[in-house]
Amino acid sequence: MIGVPFRRVELVTKLGPAQVATRLQQVTFPHYRWFRFPPRQKQFVGPITAERFLLARAIRGLNSYLPRVAGSIAPSLSGSRVSLTMTLHPVIIGLVLGTTMWVCYIAVAVPGNLTGKVVLVTVFGAFHVLMWLVGFEPEANWAEERIRAILEVGDAEVA
């Protein structure tokens, strides 16, 4: 979707699918509990099965642009192929799209000077791009690097 942070990566590891799931489970807390943070040694939060996982970085603060890493694990001739798709939480995507529609409505439907409307749209667009670059991209890079290290992956094929 245009305007929504997104990244897809294919990793190939020598580990078998069961080993991939086990390695990810060792550094992942199954779910957040209300008003409690996961243990510091856990790097991710989310469910993991033998074929799929849905992870987010275990952080103690707030970051609406924190990527959700949806992954699939498939056997390959040399071990496993792990597909990663990183994007925002669906609720955040809805909020960003809703806010965008609201800003566009204000810019088009509300009477006023053109300069103010252009400034409104420009400031909102710049804020979204800044949050994408400061909030999403560094966290997506961190998640990809950590998963590569956990799964002992060298080079990756980027889709």
| Tens-place pLDDT, residues 6-27 | 899 999 999 999 999 999 999 9
Q: Is 117 helix (H, G, I), strand (E, B) or coil?
A: helix
Comparing 12-16, 73-77, 115-119, the range with the smallest average pLDDT is 115-119
Residue 64 in any domain: the answer is: yes
Closest CA to 38 of 18, 58, 61: 58
CB neighbours (10 Å) of residue 157? 10
Residue 99 in any domain: the answer is: yes
Helices 90-109 and 114-131 pack at an angle, to 10 degrees, of: 170
Number of structural domains, the chain?
1
Please give the residue range of the domain that contains residue 72.
6-158
Residue 1 in any domain: the answer is: no
Q: In which band, very low, low, confident or very high, does the pLDDT at 52 lie, cut at 50, 70 and 90?
A: very high
